[in-house]
Amino acid sequence: MAHRIALYPGDGIGPEVVAEARKVLEASGADCTYTTIEWSTALYAKTGKCAPDDYLEQLKDFDAILLGALGNAANAPDHLAVQPLLGMRRGFDQYVNIRPAVLFEGADCPLKNKKPGDIDMMVIRENTEGEYTVLGGRHYTGTPNEAAMQVNYFTRMGTERIIRYAFELARTRKRKHLTSITKSNALVYSMVLWDDVLKDVAKDYQDVKYNSMLVDAAAMNFVRRPEIFDVVVCSNLFGDILTDLAAVIIGGMGFAGSANLNPTRKYPSMFEPVHGSAPDIAGRGKANPLAAIMSAAMMLEFLGDTKQGEKIRRAVRAHLAESDVKTPDRGGKATTSDVGKDIIARL
């Protein structure tokens, strides 16, 4: 049966990159039907919301969601614009956020002396709790006594399932190595729980080597020695920060795709480029669609169409290695759809 895909282009460059990803999906031979979801910050002026109240209900029966990007500060406050994104991650229990960072041939790595393949890591970010938990409040708003509390909420269940997922993944990879990111020297409750759970879960994965690294040291090592990382597991906020860094060391946000997975498949999973909506370059054909296209490949693989997903990945790799068709982020003059066409020609 055809996969029912919700295309949710969103704001800024989202529509342009999702349009190319759709063309690539169609050309890959994958059997999908597409429904375009027209929610963005443009709705805010009319309704005071960036998506209808029942957005989860409207999305829950799709097999997957391909998201462009959310946010345009000119139209709506950012924390409201991204609410549906964070709401889907939590509401659909997409607790695994997978963000691969691979240095491909033809990519312009900003680090010295790195060859293709030297960087090959999978960052597994916890996606439903931790520092992103909506718990806290403001007090005495607007007065000199004003206070805000933002609660970091870590459960054993939530921590265990993400660490387990990362160990399972590490087990399937050549190096079978896992780095767990922590900050238990300073965050003495949440991160000490994280470390305790790590040690417990590790007992079930004797074939996987693992270590713990403080997040500040990890930031340094992503730049200094990125080749030491294989699978990396981290909390929601640490993962957010480290994956922008991971995207930049492989040559830019332009080709970093990601998956927000509900591994139980009870609800749809969501796939999106790591980059944001970049409203400053929107509508001008300047955006690099490769991150959205890579996200589409991850979507097909999750849905079981591994052949078509692989085909797209191979086309992207060949394009990066061989093609002069480059968007401005890669120093070229090509447009978003020029890149899409080049990928399709290689499929």
Tokens 């509508």 sit on residue: 283
Site string for ligand IPM, 247-266 (x = CB under 6 A): --------------------
Tokens 């040291």 sit on residue: 217
User: Which CB, 32 or 259, lies closer to ligand IPM?
Assistant: 259
CA distances from 34 to 5, 59, 95, 144, 307 (A): 5, 12, 25, 52, 20
Distance, CA of 198 to chain centre = 23
Segment contacting ligand IPM by CB under 6 A, of 40-48, 79-87, 101-109, 315-323: 79-87
Tell me how far, at minimum, the Cβ of 76 lies from Mg ion, in Å: 18
Handedness of CA 79, 181, 208, 160 (dihedral sign): negative
User: Which CB, 28 or 235, lies closer to ligand IPM?
Assistant: 235
240 binds ligand IPM (CB under 6 A): yes
CA distances from 323 to 314, 326, 338 (A): 13, 8, 11
82 binds ligand IPM (CB under 6 A): yes
Segment contacting ligand IPM by CB under 6 A, of 82-90, 112-120, 143-151, 187-195: 82-90
Choose from ligand IPM, Mg ion, none: what does 82 bind? Cβ within 5-8 Å by kind: ligand IPM
Name the residue number minimizing CB distance to ligand IPM.
Answer: 82
Tell me how far, at minimum, the Cβ of 240 lies from Mg ion, in Å: 4
129 binds ligand IPM (CB under 6 A): no
**Three-class HEC string of 27-52:** HCCCCEEEEECCCCCHHHHHHCCCCC
CA dist., res. 88 & res. 229, Å (int) = 29
Tell me how far, at minimum, the Cβ of 85 lies from ligand IPM, in Å: 6
Which residues have CB under 8 Å from 13's CB, separation 6+?
Answer: 68, 69, 275, 277, 278, 279, 281, 282, 286, 287, 336
Q: Which residues are catalytic?
A: 140, 183, 216, 240, 244
User: Which CB, 210 or 238, lies closer to Mg ion?
Assistant: 238
240 binds Mg ion (CB under 5 A): yes
Look up residue 226 and give its DSSP letter: G
Residue 67's DSSP bridge partners are 8
Tell me how far, at minimum, the Cβ of 240 lies from ligand IPM, in Å: 4
**Positions that interact with Mg ion (CB under 5 A):** 240
**Interface ranges with ligand IPM (CB under 6 A):** 82, 85-86, 240
